[in-house]
Amino acid sequence: MKAYAKANIFLKIIGIDSRSYHLLQSRFVLLKDFFDELNFSNEKTKDGFEIIGNFTQDTIIHKTYKELENLGFSNELDEFFKNKSLRLIKNIPIGGGLGGSSTDAVTFLLMVNEALNLKLKQKQLEQICQKLGSDLIFFLSGYNSANVSGCGEIVEYFEDDFYQLDFTFPNTECSSTKVYKAFDESSYDLKANLNLSKTLKTLKTSEILEYKNTDLNDLFAPCVKIYPKMQRFLDEAYFLSGSGSGVFKAK
C-alpha cells in the first residue's frame, strides 16, 4: 500500500498554547509522486512484531502498534504477526518536511484495521492519530488538499488547483525540534502571522506561491540559522515544506 507524502504550501505560526505547543495555520497538499510502500510479508527474522525492508529503525509505526495493544487488541496482533512482518520501503526523504513517518503510521493503522477486522470507526482512528503526532489527521482524512490548524489536528478540506511542484532534496536532515527552537529564539510577530494566514487560507496554491518564500513559511529563516547550507535555497526563491529540508518551486 502506498503511503503518500505531503507538502506545506504555507506554514504560519499564529500562537503558542498553554502546553507551549506551537499553533499553526497551514495548507497541506498530498504528493502522489512521493510515497513509501508498506505491505505484510511472510518473511520473519524474529518473534513478535517486526519491520523489514530498507528502514527498520524505531518509527511512529511502533507507537501505533502500542496504541492498538492499549486498546485491547494484543491477542489479535500477536496472532497475526506470529507468522507475518511489515515490509516498509522508504522512498520519502527522512527529515525532508514531507511527513514520511506520519503517513507510514496512518497507512499501517488502516492496513491493520482492515486485515485484522478490528472495526475501528473513523472517530476512533482519529483519537489514535491525535496521540501520535500532528500530521497524522491530515493523512487519515484522505483529502488531497486541506487547511490545517491548531497543532495539526484541525483539518478542513480545500478545493485547490494542484500545481505540479518541482522538489529538491538537499543533503540535510533537518530536526523539527531544533528548527522550532530557533523560531522561538527569533523575533516574530504572531499577530502579523495570524493576519496573513487569514488571507492565505482562502487562496489556491497557484496564488499562494506568488508570495515571498519567507513570508509563506515562518520556519525558513530559523531553518537556515540552524542549517546554513539551506541559505542558497532561500536566496534562489525556493519554498520550504514544513521544517525542511525539502524545498520546491512551481513547475
pLDDT of residue 59: 80
Name the pLDDT band for 151 (thresholds 50, 70, 90): very high
For 17-47, the DSSP string reads -TTSPEEEEEEEEEEEEEEEEEEEES--SSS
Q: Is 148 helix (H, G, I), strand (E, B) or coil?
A: strand
Of the residues 36, 90, 104, 135, only one is catalytic, namely 135
Residue 163 has pLDDT above 80, yes or no: no
Whether residue 33 lies in the annotated active site: no
- Which residues span the domain enclosing 90? 2-157
Is 104 noted as a catalytic residue in this protein? no
What is the pTM for the complete model shown? 0.94
By DSSP bridging, strand 165-168 and strand 85-89 are unpaired
What does the pLDDT read at residue 134? 82
- Same domain for 106 and 187? no
Q: Can you read off the three cell numbers belonging to residue 27?
A: 495548507
Percentage, residues of the chain above pLDDT 70: 100
Which residue in the list 6, 12, 90, 201 is annotated as catalytic?
Answer: 6
Nearest one of 9, 4, 15 to 164, comparing CA atoms: 9
Domain-ending residue, one of 102, 127, 157: 157
Using an 8 Å Cβ cutoff, are 152 and 167 in contact? Answer: no
Tell me, yes or no, whether 203 and 87 share the same domain: no
Same domain for 139 and 27: yes
Band (230; pLDDT cuts 50, 70, 90) = very high
Tens of pLDDT, residues 126-140: 999 999 988 899 999
Domain stop point among 127, 157, 187: 157
Is 241's pLDDT higher than 90? yes
Q: Same structural domain for residues 188 and 115?
A: no
